Structure 1
Amino acid sequence: MLFKDILGLAHIKKHLSMSADAGRIPHAQLFVGPEGCGLLPMALAYAQYIICNNTDGENNSGNSVCNLKFSSFSHPDMHFAFPVANSDKVKSHAVSDHYIHEWRQFAQEQPYGNLFDWYQLIEIEKKQGQIGVDEAQEIVKKLSLKSYEGGYKVMMIWMAERMNNAAANKLLKLIEEPPEKTIFLLLCQDEEQIIQTIKSRCQILHFPPLAEDTIAKALINNGASHEEAMQIAHEANGNFNKALDLLNQDSEDLIFEKWFVQWVRSAFKAKGNKAVIHELILWSEELAKTGRETQKKFLNFCMAVMRQALLLNYGVDELAYMKIHAEGFQLKKFAPFIHENNILTITEELENAIYHIERNGNAKIIFTDLSIKLTRLLHKKATEIT
């Protein structure tokens, strides 16, 4: 992965290359940024820059053989850890090395992909992957060995917030005092889920969402017209992965939109109509059949829609980027029902549902309970100003 191939983020590229050139490379770094901003490609390019002794901000100016190995993500001094789970392929004690071939494919084809894309590739989308203590033991074992080429070795932990406490505690000492010329790169979207003892041992670098112009140019290079690229770039809200999905009409958000519209329409009709409660129960049963990662992603989508509706209700249209494609549904008409008197409670209920799903609660009960609460909250009146 080359710095020049990464979208935008010129200031971060410059910071990383200049600090490496000056020999100021922190032994543990935490890259934090939203989905689709380029955490993974930037970390890959940075690791290649360090290991291959590249200079002057160029990835291909150093050892050509080393750079060639990186092009297939098979350099022996580059190690990876990422969330996994047992599957038909791996029956027990799954670790990253069991899925390394799929990981190389993912890094080459979907470097801006999200956790759900990864789970789909390795066919564990109905499970909740994690970085567990078995993985931590593998990391300790790998980093106890000397560098293959005598230089730096890098351990990249993608989606580090999926590391459980047992794994994090096992790695604490190693992250604090790694072997000579060993670098940890931890990548995460939610900094709050990283335990404090890990964060305190890392230098943190925050990534912003990508600029609309940057995404639009990339979409045009992928075959979109200028008008289409600008519209998708605005709707993607700095997320290049979502922009590509929208361009290819392959976004899971399109399915989530149908579920959301069906949900709120039934919730509106349910007031004073007991028969419609049966529709909400059937809807809950359908959602319960999907995987937990899908359920959590849908609930996060619902929170995003509610926030967008609130912005439209308050007349801040320029900040509203979302567009619902479901036929007959207009976010602007839905917006008046989301206001200061119910937005906090709705958000709290959605967050509680995510919490219980993560802890393997009964999905049918969780969604049925949430649906009944939504029928009350959507009919709650806004505060009248006198």
Structure 2
Amino acid sequence: MKWEEVIGQDLIKQQLKDSIQKNRISHAQLFIGKSGYGVLPLVLAYASEILCKDSQSCYKQVSSLQHPDLFFSFPTINNATEKKEAVSKDYITKFREFITENPYQSINQWYEFLGEDKKQGFISVKEIENIFEKLNLKSFEGGYKIQIIWMMETMRTEAANKLLKILEEPPTQTIFLLITEDESKILPTILSRCQAVKINRIEEKEITKGLKDKYSLSEDEINKISTKVEGDWNLAVALQKNNELQEEFERYFIQWNRAAVMAPKQPVYLKQIVEWSIEISGWGREKQKTFLQFCTEIFRQALLENYASNILVNTPLTYKNFKWQSFSQFVHGNNIEDIINEINKAYFHIERNGNPKIIFLDMGVKLTRYLARKKD
């Protein structure tokens, strides 16, 4: 990764560049800040500058997390089916994929990526033993060896004590670049051995520039996102994705409700509901759950619109000039409870790995009855 690929953070970039140019690279540095502020991208750019000396092939190796003198440690989760304790080398391929996609991602996203979001990862004693073995080997390129430890706060106390000994007597030409979001969870003795580098939020103007450069968004959309994220690029990316997802969800919601309104008079529309349920059944379960939450909110907003509380409506559907006010007349006090209950029931069964084709078809058909009810 190169400096220009990092969003904003010009002051820190210059400080790190100066430390290289003046040959004042501390052997142990602790980078402190939220993932979304660009801590890991800064560390990768810093490592690139130290290792590569304008070598393009070297930059590519660092960007893909495959440079022979660049090592990574990060929280891992033991697999219940395996007896051995998990370490970073067991997950390195997945970690490369995860970071290459977006190096601003958080630790919770890492757990979700692994499909282990209900468990907590950690950095073990065995991991530190592996670090010691790797760093005692000669440098492949003949220069520095760099060890990056991502999310230091997940390191167990015994592992931290073992790492401390390495920091006190590091192998020659070895640099430790440690990353944390919460230094209060790190042993004071380790803190005392490291040069602290605090990473603050990205300036709003830099978030705005990044969104303009990377995504096809309107000025209004960019300004809304930049204002909301408080200097967190990871959150900006998530909101941008949600913007794309919003349009897709609107399309499927409208398709479903148009068919549900028409089906009691023209049963041929039931076929559209069947096709709709088959398409959605092909989504991942997290996306299906998010769509159901979206549907709940849209029905709630429609109810507000129907009862002349439109001042409280903040998410009216706009996809292809959808007639929002006309649709809202179908949602009222005589059916809203059943509609919401049906969606909640579908969410419950999706969470428990029910068959999505059956779940969405059942919910889709029942809506035809609920929307046909007359308002009291």
TM-score in terms of structure 2 length: 0.63
Aligned to 2:351: none
Does residue 115 (structure 1) correspond to residue 107 (structure 2)? The answer is yes
Partner of 2:359: none
The partner residue of 1:243 within 236, 254, 264 is 236
- Give the Å deviation of 1:89: 8.3
CA drift of 1:173 comes to 1.3
Alignment match of 2:119 (pick from 112, 115, 127)? 127
- Aligned pairs (5 A) from 1:162-173: 162-173=154-165
User: What are the superposed Cα offsets for residues 19-66 of structure 1, whole Å, 9 maximum, x if unpaired?
Assistant: 1111110000000012300000110110111011x2xxxxxxx23332
User: What SS does structure 1 have at the residue aligned with 2:193?
Assistant: coil
Moved more, 195-204 or 216-225: 216-225
- Alignment correspondent of 2:180: 188
Change (3 A) 1:250 1:153: farther
Q: Which residue of 1 aligns with 2:201?
A: 209
Following superposition, the deviation at residue 206 of structure 1 comes to 0.4
Which runs of 5 or more residues in structure 2 are unaligned?
Answer: 245-296, 305-311, 313-376
1:215, 1:240 within 8 Å by CA — same for their partners in 2? Answer: yes
State the AA in 2 paired with 1:233: S
Q: Which amino acid aligns with 1:219?
A: L
Determine if the alignment matches structure 1 residue 75 to structure 2 residue 67: yes
Contact 1:20 1:50 in 2 (8 A): yes
Task: Work out whether residues 8 and 210 of structure 1, in 8 Å CA contact, stay in contact via their aligned partners in 2.
Answer: yes
Q: Which residue of 2 aligns with 1:232?
A: 225
- 2 CA distance for matches of 1:113 and 1:196? 27
For residues 25 and 147 of structure 2, the distance between their equivalents in structure 1, rounded to whole angstroms, comes to 14
- In the TM superposition, residue 121 of structure 1 has moved relative to its aligned partner by 1.4
- The aligned amino acid for 1:94 is A
Kindly tell me the number of residue pairs found equivalent between the two proteins: 251
How much does 1:71 deviate? 3.1
- Give matches, 1:227-376, under 5 Å: 227-249=220-242
Which consecutive unaligned segments of at least 5 residues does structure 1 have? Answer: 55-61, 252-323, 334-386
Give 2:184's aligned amino acid. E
Task: Give the corresponding residue for 1:6.
Answer: 6
Whole-Å separation in 2 of the counterparts to 1:231 and 1:130? 36
TM-score (norm 1): 0.62
**Cα shift at 1:72:** 1.8
Tell me by how many angstroms 1:198 deviates. 0.5
For residues 326 and 117 of structure 1, the distance between their equivalents in structure 2, rounded to whole angstroms, comes to 29
Tell me how far 1:243 sits from its aligned partner. 1.1
8 A Cα contact 1:212 1:230, kept in partner: no
The 3 A distance-change label for structure 1 pair 326 and 66 is: farther
Counterparts in 2 of 1:204 and 1:212: CA distance versus 1, 3 Å: same
RMSD: 2.4
One-letter amino acid of the counterpart of residue 242, structure 1: L
Counterpart of 2:93 in structure 1 is 101
2:109 is aligned with 1:136: no
